[in-house]
Structure 1
Amino acid sequence: MQIRISWPAGHVTATLDETPTSRALAGALPIVSTARTWGEEVYFETPASPALEADAQQVVDPGTVAFWTEGDALALPYGPTPISRGDECRLASPCNVLGRIDGDPRALATVRSGDPIRVELVSA
């Protein structure tokens, strides 16, 4: 499954794996939310509210599409966060891993806190 994430200065697409959380997110799309930034991570609330999965991770690769269950939010890290050790992408707490940004995740650096952000399914 592929999604498109758009904001005023740009967009990225992401490929999601088949997981309970990705299915819950797909069922809520399209959504429009307000972007927040935390170090080199963009996150925003969604109407989906999945449970934490057994393989949730706190340290992920740049460009990982993660779901922060504590905030019902998508988390899109592209570099270090305020709690990272070195150059790692350390999320606020363990998150469900949904997939990866296609291409360079540093495109997310143009997202500003407060930007409207839209997520929609890409037609097959």
Structure 2
Amino acid sequence: MAKILIADDDAILTEMLRFRLEGARHQVVTAADGMEALEKAGSEDPDLIILDSMMPVVAGPEVLARLRDDPQTARTPIVMLTARDGEKDVVAALKSGANEYMTKPFIPKELMVRIQKLLVRAA
């Protein structure tokens, strides 16, 4: 079982992800904006973070950069899960330290497999 932080302002998507992750016996913490994501990443010490790019208060790319600059979260696996599918967005996120990049809409089973692989690697 892992603790996973979902940082996304889409409440319906967040609940769908929570349902799937809890069904796989993971503990889920959520954040609805970038600032809350940064706060919870520090206080909850998640094993993995699912991060949207387009969020209020602090955008996903800035959250990603701050997480990678913080020694506490620098090695935490991060999956960018976003509607932004441009080559520039994908390359920038991967260069900034995202471990995976998936675009919405996505295949839930594929996301679960990618999460599991990242958790195994991080263990």
TM-score by length of 1: 0.29
Which is richer in strand?
1
Which structure has greater helix proportion? 2
Higher RCO (Cα < 8 Å, 6 or more apart): 1
